[in-house]
Structure 1
């Protein structure tokens, strides 16, 4: 069974027929090809939406090709492990650890052709890629040696180098060694690098204070990797970036069984879930009765200007911009605080840890994928 719910801007007219341009409540997303039985991962942004299936094949729906709404196959000879879509860039990670990308910020002369950027890394012993992370105009690579590389635009210093000296690069450049995780967003120009000692470094666009560096640091650009001093206590599980904000998931290390997870946000007030009419320059906890007590945060996703949360008790929660119905609450009114979303009955009772949420520019997905695990699996409560 291929459970996949969709809501928001309807960019799939052949699959979601007789529906308005703005789908305000979650509806079932159905694929035309019977071979597309099991979703492994979805990635979506301004330019396209890519579905990766368990068989290692992927299809793409281009947001710019309205005359032909049919999907096109991603033609990579190697089996695909992960897909990412940035503002104008697509990156493909294969089982072999190679990364193929296309886009004008990566290959200006032939932006529609895939090139193997992992083969361009100067250190030949560092060409096996473990993970890929999209930015709005850049792509980040985490190698099997735990080294972080960046490629693409550096206009806002998002590659960790002075933007006046380096505007962009078409070859991966080493940003930092001993990295455990890279975090950014498909509509953002900021990057977070978490090292093996749980120290967090940032670089890029900081106009709204979306790095959480504090109220005394308000530079519009952070042109070199800078360490964040005041991180909330606990283990950093994930960080995701919107255009003007960042949200961090922290796990309480003092609890052995089902440790509590909390969300912290900073940046522009409208997208932080606080309901405040001001920017927040330090990571501040998002509190809500919807995920208190014995409920826990299982998965979350940050889009251009909205956020979705899935809890261990099966609650789907959203807040932020809702102009296209991307919060799935039945209208197009913005929500500045976490709000519960009604969803059709799926297979939550089977194993909720196999469900994942995804926010795009003006759209959202909730889908079933037992082969995908962003976070350590929580025990069912």
Structure 2
């Protein structure tokens, strides 16, 4: 059974009932569920208002923030063949094993914000509708197709109004960039996105209010177009997650011990990572907690909390 490391705010949502609202030291807990087939967690996605656990059997359970009228976890079923989930600030996106994308949220369907609709079918090029990856931002959703084309849905980074500095609203899918090999999560109340191009160069765009895009001491608050990130740690980028004001990167080096290391940049709201300072470039997180990062399966960054899913874990 997987174990989960948790630290930070424990009230949006209240994931651990018998613990205080602010957990200042990392603790571990096991996911309790009556269904034995829904105990092996494949992925975690969390944001300000909700957390979704995806299980290996293709089903998912969502926990909403404690002020929501629905106190009990709700099961999410899209033909029970979910490959990936992505929680944004005010939307949720699900990728099925067939390559279809379903999303819900008040900006997607204001009449029924809890209804999932197929947004991959909205791509005009019918040959480009099979999706291999997804990212949810504030009120934007990014779709990476099998043909390595990156689309934005609703309000993409490239739709910023330069006069008002606000996102234009559109219910269309917009081709944003070509030759993209991988995209990384921007689960945040702002809109942020990381991506690798076909040359394995790392780019980021979106809100850089606290240096969370890893672009250095930039004075720009909004990075409208994908911009290459300098001074990336050596190794293979496994994943990047962006939260409210900081980002975490997982790097793998076969010739080092441990092979996997965590790096972070941005501003850490107290208890988000246990410290309160700015880092403008990706810097290794050095802690006894991560002495053996090889066990990390997945992680997610919220507003002021971080979850790390491990195959095994021991707190020294």
Whole-Å Cα distance in 1 between the matches of residues 288 and 39 of structure 2? 37
Whole-Å Cα distance in 2 between the matches of residues 284 and 266 of structure 1? 6
| Corresponding position of 1:232 | 233
| Corresponding position of 1:356 | none
| Corresponding position of 1:370 | none
Structure 1 residues 87 and 162: CA distance shift in structure 2, 3 A: closer
| Corresponding position of 2:260 | 261
CA apart distance, 1:290: 5.1
| Corresponding position of 1:137 | 139
Structure 1 residues 148 and 75: CA distance shift in structure 2, 3 A: same
Q: How does 1:28-177 map to 2 (within 5 A)?
A: 28-33=30-35, 36=38, 38-63=40-65, 66-77=68-79, 79-154=81-156, 159-164=157-162, 167-177=168-178
Deviation digits for residues 275-298 of structure 1 (CA, Å, limit 9, x no counterpart): 574x22222333345545xx4444
CA apart distance, 1:191: 0.9
Note if contact 1:297-1:310 (Cα within 8 Å) is conserved in structure 2.
no
Q: What TM-score, normalized to structure 2?
A: 0.79
CA apart distance, 1:204: 0.8
Any stretches of 5+ residues in structure 2 without a counterpart?
none
Structure number with larger C-alpha Rg: 1
Whole-Å Cα distance in 1 between the matches of residues 287 and 160 of structure 2? 40
Note if contact 2:13-2:64 (Cα within 8 Å) is conserved in structure 1.
no
Whole-Å Cα distance in 2 between the matches of residues 88 and 123 of structure 1? 27
| Corresponding position of 1:243 | 244
Note if contact 1:263-1:286 (Cα within 8 Å) is conserved in structure 2.
yes
SS where residue 243 of structure 1 aligns? coil
Note if contact 1:205-1:222 (Cα within 8 Å) is conserved in structure 2.
yes
SS where residue 127 of structure 2 aligns? helix
| Corresponding position of 1:306 | 305
Deviation digits for residues 301-340 of structure 1 (CA, Å, limit 9, x no counterpart): 433223455788834xxxxxxxxxxxxxxxxxxxxxxxxx
User: How many residues in Structure 1 have an aligned counterpart in Structure 2?
Assistant: 304
SS where residue 54 of structure 2 aligns? strand
SS where residue 313 of structure 2 aligns? coil
Whole-Å Cα distance in 1 between the matches of residues 115 and 229 of structure 2? 38
| Corresponding position of 2:180 | 179
Any stretches of 5+ residues in structure 1 without a counterpart?
316-340, 343-381
Whole-Å Cα distance in 1 between the matches of residues 57 and 309 of structure 2? 26
| Corresponding position of 2:216 | 214
CA apart distance, 1:12: 8.1
CA apart distance, 1:194: 1.0
SS where residue 160 of structure 2 aligns? coil
SS where residue 187 of structure 2 aligns? coil
Whole-Å Cα distance in 1 between the matches of residues 39 and 252 of structure 2? 34
Note if contact 1:163-1:223 (Cα within 8 Å) is conserved in structure 2.
no
Whole-Å Cα distance in 2 between the matches of residues 212 and 120 of structure 1? 32
Note if contact 1:151-1:168 (Cα within 8 Å) is conserved in structure 2.
no
Note if contact 1:10-1:20 (Cα within 8 Å) is conserved in structure 2.
no
Note if contact 2:2-2:310 (Cα within 8 Å) is conserved in structure 1.
no
Structure 1 residues 250 and 68: CA distance shift in structure 2, 3 A: closer
CA apart distance, 1:64: 6.2
Which shifted more, 50-59 or 218-227?
50-59
Q: What TM-score, normalized to structure 1?
A: 0.67
Whole-Å Cα distance in 2 between the matches of residues 90 and 106 of structure 1? 10
CA apart distance, 1:73: 3.4
Note if contact 2:5-2:309 (Cα within 8 Å) is conserved in structure 1.
no
Structure 1 residues 163 and 233: CA distance shift in structure 2, 3 A: farther
Deviation digits for residues 147-176 of structure 1 (CA, Å, limit 9, x no counterpart): 22222344xxxx244343851332222221
